[in-house]
Amino acid sequence: MNTIYKRTALLLALSAMILAGCTGSDIDIVKEGVMGGYQTTTVGAAFDASFDNPQWSEIQGEKGERVVEFTGKIRKEVLLDLLGNVVNEPHIQDSYAKAVLSEPEYQQFYEGASGEGATPKNEVYNILFNIALDKICQNEAAFQWIVTPDGKSFSLSYVDNDAWGPFVARYGADKNYIYKDEHILNAVY
């Protein structure tokens, strides 16, 4: 009886040590963590709330890096936040629609929205702009973080800028700024 008790105690102690060594997945490390400059919420909360169909995965980099990848479809309100207030200007709405939509799409939607000239141009441009936004929101954006070998921290290593549509920087709040990942992150957070 004493031997069974010792074996059970040893097995429980060994199990506790194994469980204590488990720190969770790399996805959990990123999702439950915060990024510098964005400490108001966790990465997981911000990204899961800002994208439709959020997907998290772990991959190994070419040199053995521990990479966490996030993909999700861009929500319209996040895209609008990224674009800024200038999207309320009809000529910018029209330019953006022309940049996003193919020429045949633009013509088809323009003709449908204009109602044979009965609809004011400003309203037509707004309709075209919203169609263009809806098209961009079908894109899947991707982000990647590298987790340190000790699993204690991570850093953003990749942002898919192309997913956000053409001329995002050009039509942002300040037409002269250089497009940076931080503008996307500001819209996400």
Give the integer Cα–Cα distance in Å for 160 and 165: 10
Q: Read off the amino acid at residue 69.
A: E
Distance, CA of 62 to CA of 40 (rounded, Å): 33
CA 179 to chain centre: 16
- Residue with more model confidence, 44 or 95: 44
How far is residue 148 from each of residues 36, 69, 158, 186, measured CA to CA in Å?
Answer: 15, 15, 15, 24
pLDDT tens digits, 55-98: 999 999 889 999 999 999 999 999 988 888 667 888 889 988 99
More confident residue, 93 or 181: 93
% of the chain beyond a pLDDT of 90: 56
How far apart, in whole angstroms, are the C-alpha atoms of residue 163 and residue 138? Answer: 9
The DSSP output letter for 75 is P
Given strand 66-74, what is the order of strands in its sheet? 51-60, 66-74, 140-147, 154-159
What is the predicted pLDDT for the residue at 147? 97
pLDDT band at 167 (very low <50, low <70, confident <90, very high): low
